[in-house]
Structure 1
């Protein structure tokens, strides 16, 4: 017979701590990478500028850029209102980065200077960070325009332009 060394309860505790520590380190390494992969998958999705009415034709990249720079207030003779996602929404930063090559801080400074000089008003920031809130805002008046990831836009929406990474 082989003699076994007596294992104390403390040795089991040390083994369990080792397993817990290994799992903890594994989670510290893997979880951030899973968020990076998920955010890149979401970030690669195209964004669409759209309205809920059929009053507007498709737009060129230059017209969309002029709209969201405050340099164009009318489309096809109709005064438009633009929407914006809340500051905390990553779609907002992605949209301005891809369409205009500017981050959120740059856009906030840009809109502040235009507002202060009276040249233009920034897009209306919707109250809630949800597609339902955006659709409700868009449906309240006829000539309103918003943007969102293509996958969440209603099938009956009028897509005016699709913003993609190649736009810069």
Structure 2
């Protein structure tokens, strides 16, 4: 019984130590976003910010942040998220957010585009973008 308690505690502590994923937007964008709105954007169900500006969402092509984001924000595993978008693409009902090759590429894209939203490891965030949520 003690083994299970210790193992569970270690898992909980290691999960807490892992870095969070920060959802970022351009600093000129004054839109407030909650977790539900962010999920809708990345599921293709919301195409504009509350101010009417069209959303230009980007993500990452691979890495730990992808799994953390899809699980903690979208509520799907990475494979479920890919399957979701594969179905929408196949039926002609949507186009997934562009997947960039690095967290720095996401930061640079969001900093350069007023209509952009992206996600990166919270430890990688710079002053060139605004964090709207950490998950």
TM-score bracket for the superposition, by shorter chain length: 0.7 to 0.9
Q: Which residue of 2 aligns with 1:67?
A: 41
Specify the structure having the higher radius of gyration (Cα).
Answer: 1
Asked if 2 retains the 8 angstrom alpha-carbon contact of 1:58 and 1:160, the reply is yes
Q: Which residue of 2 aligns with 1:118?
A: 92
Matching residue within 106, 117, 136 for 2:108: 136
Runs (5+) with no aligned partner, structure 2: 1-10
- 1:35-74 matches, within 5 Å, as 40=14, 44-74=18-48
CA shift at 1:41, angstroms?
6.2
| Residues 62-92 of structure 1: CA deviation (Å, up to 9, x unaligned) | 11111111100100201111111113x1110
TM-score by length of 1: 0.64
| Residues 36-60 of structure 1: CA deviation (Å, up to 9, x unaligned) | x9xx468732211111232232211
Distance (whole Å) between structure 1 residues aligned to residue 110 and residue 130 of structure 2: 12
Change (3 A) 1:141 1:155: closer
Distance (whole Å) between structure 2 residues aligned to residue 139 and residue 118 of structure 1: 30
Q: Which residue of 1 aligns with 2:3?
A: none
Asked if 1 retains the 8 angstrom alpha-carbon contact of 2:24 and 2:110, the reply is no
CA shift at 1:134, angstroms?
1.8
Distance (whole Å) between structure 1 residues aligned to residue 33 and residue 107 of structure 2: 20
Q: What RMSD in Å do the two structures reach over aligned CA positions?
A: 2.2
Runs (5+) with no aligned partner, structure 1: 1-36, 164-168
Distance (whole Å) between structure 2 residues aligned to residue 136 and residue 58 of structure 1: 21
Q: Which residue of 2 aligns with 1:150?
A: 122
Aligned length: 123
Matching residue within 82, 93, 102 for 2:57: 82
